[in-house]
């Protein structure tokens, strides 16, 4: 991903929309209030986990880029 920060709210809305869309394609009755609340809770938990994964991934890729920059500056000096 190009962006450094991804908000949990944005992740949650993406996950919620995709879950609702995938459930809508199934031959199930229309979801009631309990099902909607369950989707909200699970998407919130999933968004938190995905944000942690994205942070870890960014931290892994970021130090290697910093090392290359410091090596370039030390060669110039």
The string of pLDDT tens digits covering residues 21-66 is 998 889 988 889 998 899 999 999 999 999 898 888 888 887 665 6
Between 46 and 76, residue with greater pLDDT: 46
Tell me what pLDDT residue 17 has.
92
List Cβ neighbours of 40 (8 Å cut-off, separation of 6 or more).
16
Domain count, the chain: 1
Q: What is the pTM of this model?
A: 0.63
In a domain, residue 2? The reply is: no
**Residue 59 within a domain:** yes
Residue numbers of the domain that contains 71: 8-76
Residue 60 lies in a domain: yes
- Give CA–CA dist 31/26, Å, rounded: 11
User: Could you give the CA distance from residue 56 to residue 41 in angstroms, rounded to a whole number?
Assistant: 23
């Amino acid at each position: 991903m190009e962006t450094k920060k991804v908000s949990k709210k944005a992740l949650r809305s993406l996950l919620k929309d995709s879950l609702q869309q995938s459930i809508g394609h199934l031959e199930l009755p229309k979801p009631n209030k309990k099902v909607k609340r369950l989707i909200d809770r699970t998407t919130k938990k999933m968004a938190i986990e995905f944000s942690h994964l994205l942070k870890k991934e960014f931290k892994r890729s970021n130090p290697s880029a910093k090392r290359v920059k410091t090596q370039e500056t030390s060669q110039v000096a």
